[in-house]
Amino acid sequence: MKGSFYGLKGKQLSLFTIVLMCTTILIWGWEKTLILTNLVPPQTRLQLGSEIRDDYVDKSVLSEQEIDVGNGVATFAQNDTVKEELRLGAPPGSEQGSDESEEISNDIASNQVEKSGVLTSGSKEREEHKEVQEAEIDGKAVDARQKEKAEENNSDVQKQNVKLGTSLAPVCDYAKGKWVVDHKKPLYSGHGCKQWLSSMWSCRMTQRTDFSYEKVSWQPKDCQMEEFEGSKFLKRMQHKTLAFVGDSLGRQQFQSLMCMITGGKERHDVIDVGSEYGIVQARGDVRPSGWAYRFPSTNTTILYSWSSTLCDLQPIEASNPATHYAMHLDRPPAFLRQYIHKLNVLVLNTGHHWNRGKLKANRWVMHLGGVRNTDRKIAVIWKAKNVTVHSIINWVNSQLPKYPGLKAFYRTISPRHFVGGEWNTGGSCDNTTPMSIGREVLQDVSGDSDAAGAAKGTGVKLLDITALSKVRDEGHISRFSKTAKPGVQDCLHWCLPGVPDTWNEILFAQI
């Protein structure tokens, strides 16, 4: 037929040609147009993709399977973005891979899952793998958020500790360290501190000529000890009371602190407040049962109460001048029972009066549970002392919840340095120059194991001075004692200024 093609007329042929061209353009447009692509199932889009795109999809599947959980979120987002960039005709990593294109890609992926009736087996596996990894990522994200929250809380605690003047740093072990020469010492003069210091303990007032022991300072091993200042101490103890309760070594520590606070100078503003604490000198006593002084500028009270054994002593026959005394091993002294509520810092000590000679001379009779002790094992001196040390520490520990503002310390025993005998049998301590300079004291346990064992697990802190004092044999009064008989040396008490000043420096650092 003329003018026809397989029976089609020219107009029909032209119309067919136009439809075919439009269909071709439409199919091409679906691949290139974002809106139309949204309507195409994923299988169709993959079939229409180029070989390059198919290769990349295969590689992306592999990367999804090998993805590291730690950066999974970022990698998934990156793969989706790169796929979208390829589909849009942009090279991977180009500026078109923006946040906006990532959002569009994620929307497309969501629509594909919703509109696709069936996913291929590979797609299902990839989706399941992705869900598992996303769950793991979410779990790790929760852990990370919890860790971050914990760090924030810890930071808040540290800030609060700074405000409170505390620290999370390890507590300084003041019992370890060494003695060093310190030309800033002493903190006061034995010549000048006559208002507080007993003349028998001021070696500057005796015939002694070597005073190098005054120029020695204790340096803790891994920390710096706070420098003592009288004004700083009074400010820290404003409206507070510090009490020493113990034997004559406790009295030395008390007098040392009074001299340190005042710099050894007279203070006419300091008030005697002994009567407020029942501290008076009874008729016939050589000295009062203690001393109590108040610094009005800061309302700070420093006192000492005599209790050589830290246990309660009661006359068995009150009307008999020659009566024996019940030595109640398991009862705290009357002073503590009556006045502990008024104390803010308490320093206890005992030790050197626990011997048969003292018990006999003072007519002390051991009592336990309110009755005379008949247990021979407890009657052994060191065991009796142990009973009392444990009893007093446990009792004070039981009082701490009642008085939250109270800090309690038990000072370990001060070492003696008698050589060749005891105080009354020719024992001596003739060294007068420091032999301990640079020598480290590094023991891991206290030199006073009884005290350490009693304080362990309680709120009573150990003021551990035994080992560091043991290497200071030159610091004793020695043969320069004013009151001792010829041939009798004092290798128990210390020259002041001297070693007890260090005990107070450590105490100051801990309050």
Report which residue type is found at 311: C
Q: Are residues 196 and 277 in the same domain?
A: yes
In a domain, 148, yes or no: no
Higher pLDDT: 44 or 393? It is 393
Mean predicted confidence (pLDDT) in 155-171: 50
C-alpha–C-alpha distance, residues 460 and 150, integer Å: 32
Q: Are residues 127 and 208 in the same domain?
A: no
Please check the confidence at residue 116 and state whether its pLDDT lies above 80.
no
415 touches 465 (CB < 8 A): no
Please check the confidence at residue 87 and state whether its pLDDT lies above 50.
no
Counting Cα atoms < 13 Å in the Cβ hemisphere of 406 gives 21
β-strand pairing of 407-411 with 461-463: parallel
Distances (CA, A) of 132 to 67, 72, 127, 136: 12, 11, 9, 6
The two tokens of residue 315 are 């006359």
Mean predicted confidence (pLDDT) in 310-338: 96
C-alpha–C-alpha distance, residues 205 and 253, integer Å: 19
In a domain, 13, yes or no: no
439 touches 178 (CB < 8 A): yes
In a domain, 15, yes or no: no
pLDDT at 477: 96
Q: Are residues 135 and 176 in the same domain?
A: no
Mean predicted confidence (pLDDT) in 228-238: 97
Counting Cα atoms < 13 Å in the Cβ hemisphere of 11 gives 0
In a domain, 463, yes or no: yes
pLDDT at 78: 44
335 touches 341 (CB < 8 A): no
C-alpha–C-alpha distance, residues 44 and 487, integer Å: 115
Mean predicted confidence (pLDDT) in 342-354: 97
Higher pLDDT: 85 or 255? It is 255
C-alpha–C-alpha distance, residues 343 and 118, integer Å: 82
DSSP 225: P
Where is the domain boundary, 97, 123, 139? 139
Beta strands in 36-113 (DSSP E): none
In a domain, 132, yes or no: yes
pLDDT at 483: 76
pLDDT at 13: 61
pLDDT at 101: 40
In a domain, 326, yes or no: yes
Mean predicted confidence (pLDDT) in 325-345: 98
With CA atoms as reference, report the closest residue to 506 among 219, 258, 237, 230.
219
C-alpha–C-alpha distance, residues 271 and 283, integer Å: 23
Q: Are residues 91 and 220 in the same domain?
A: no
pTM score of the predicted model: 0.68
Please check the confidence at residue 173 and state whether its pLDDT lies above 80.
yes
Q: Which residues of 63-79 are buried (b: 16+ CB within 10 A; e: fewer)?
A: ebeebeeeebbebbebb
Q: Are residues 309 and 453 in the same domain?
A: yes
pLDDT at 288: 86
Is residue 478 left, alpha or beta, with left meaning phi > 0 and alpha meaning psi from -120 to 50? left
Number of other CB atoms surrounding residue 287 within 10 Å: 10
The two tokens of residue 281 are 């000198």
pLDDT at 434: 92
pLDDT at 23: 72
pLDDT at 90: 42
With CA atoms as reference, report the closest residue to 416 among 388, 448, 439.
448
The two tokens of residue 185 are 């010492």
pLDDT at 76: 38
Mean predicted confidence (pLDDT) in 481-501: 90
Q: Are residues 91 and 183 in the same domain?
A: no
pLDDT at 97: 39
Please check the confidence at residue 25 and state whether its pLDDT lies above 80.
no
Please check the confidence at residue 114 and state whether its pLDDT lies above 60.
no
What is the residue-averaged pLDDT of the chain?
79
- The shares of helix, strand and coil residues in the chain, as percent rounded to the nearest 5, are 45, 15, 40
Please check the confidence at residue 181 and state whether its pLDDT lies above 50.
yes
Q: Are residues 68 and 203 in the same domain?
A: no
Percent of the chain whose predicted confidence (pLDDT) is above 70 = 68
Q: Are residues 338 and 384 in the same domain?
A: yes
pLDDT at 167: 45
pLDDT at 235: 97
Q: Is 296 exposed, middle or buried (0-12, 13-18, 19+ CB in 10 A)?
A: exposed
Q: Is 159 exposed, middle or buried (0-12, 13-18, 19+ CB in 10 A)?
A: exposed
Q: What's CA 497's distance to the chain center, in Å?
A: 32
488 touches 481 (CB < 8 A): yes
Please check the confidence at residue 135 and state whether its pLDDT lies above 80.
no
Mean predicted confidence (pLDDT) in 367-390: 96
pLDDT at 86: 39
146 touches 153 (CB < 8 A): no
Residue 20 pLDDT grade (very low, low, confident, very high; cuts 50, 70, 90): confident
Q: Are residues 124 and 190 in the same domain?
A: no
C-alpha–C-alpha distance, residues 367 and 365, integer Å: 6
pLDDT at 163: 45
Total of domains in the chain: 2
Across 75-79, 224-228, 252-256, 502-506, least confident range: 75-79
Range of the domain at 134: 33-139
Highest mean pLDDT range out of 56-60, 142-146, 336-340, 437-441? 336-340
Give per-residue pLDDT as tens, 427-480.
Answer: 999 999 999 999 999 999 999 999 999 999 999 999 999 999 999 999 999 999
Residue 282 pLDDT grade (very low, low, confident, very high; cuts 50, 70, 90): confident
Mean predicted confidence (pLDDT) in 402-427: 94
In a domain, 23, yes or no: no
Among the residues of 202-318, which ranges form H helices? 230-236, 248-262
C-alpha–C-alpha distance, residues 326 and 317, integer Å: 10
Residue 21 pLDDT grade (very low, low, confident, very high; cuts 50, 70, 90): confident
Q: What is the dihedral of CA 430, 435, 441, 445, to 10 degrees?
A: -10
Across 32-41, 58-67, 118-127, 182-191, least confident range: 58-67
Residue 11 pLDDT grade (very low, low, confident, very high; cuts 50, 70, 90): low
Q: Are residues 324 and 446 in the same domain?
A: yes
Please check the confidence at residue 373 and state whether its pLDDT lies above 70.
yes
Q: Are residues 209 and 345 in the same domain?
A: yes
Give per-residue pLDDT as tens, 197-206.
Answer: 999 999 999 9
The two tokens of residue 446 are 């206290």
- Specify the long-range contacts of residues 252-255, CB closer than 8 Å, at least 24 apart: 252/201, 252/493, 252/494, 252/496, 252/500, 253/347, 253/349, 253/411, 253/500, 253/503, 253/504, 254/291, 254/302, 254/303, 254/304, 255/196, 255/197, 255/198, 255/201, 255/496
Residue 89 pLDDT grade (very low, low, confident, very high; cuts 50, 70, 90): very low
Q: Are residues 422 and 339 in the same domain?
A: yes
In a domain, 189, yes or no: yes
